[in-house]
Amino acid sequence: PFQVVGGKVKKPGKRGRKPAKIDLKAKLERSRQSARECRARKKLRYQYLEELVSSRERAICALREELEMYKQWCMAMDQGKIPSEIKALLTGEEQGKAQQNSTKLAKAAKTEANSSNP
């Protein structure tokens, strides 16, 4: 019942995949559908990558402009001039700190008033 072929013992009967009895037209249609889906995925992937590249390019441009502004500020400060933007930032920070302190004091006063009233 056993056959020896090439040093291996072969059992009678068929093992493994059976020959496909699938309709050739159906197989071709599945292949076409798969190809359509692949092309659609590829198109979406390229659109996503193009949007990503353009957003990164916009970010690069914005950062270059910001860098150029900082360079101008440094050149102005090297010449002994303080750019108006830096003055505004400094006075804004000082005003912001004063506002924060006043709100903290107001909150503390409110809490004291609330805790002292029964």
DSSP assignment string, the chain:
--EEETTEEEPSS--SPPPP---HHHHHHHHHHHHHHHHHHHHHHHHHHHHHHHHHHHHHHHHHHHHHHHHHHHHHHHTT---HHHHHHHHHHHHHHHHHHHHHHHHHHHHHHHHH--
User: What is the residue-averaged pLDDT of the chain?
Assistant: 80
Can you give the pLDDT at residue 5? 60
More confident: 20 or 66: 66
Judge whether residue 118 has pLDDT over 50.
no
Flag whether the pTM goes above 0.75.
Answer: no
Judge whether residue 44 has pLDDT over 90.
yes
Can you give the pLDDT at residue 64? 98
Query: Would you place residue 82 in the very low, low, confident or very high pLDDT band (cuts 50, 70, 90)?
Result: confident
Give me 81's structure tokens: 């001039």
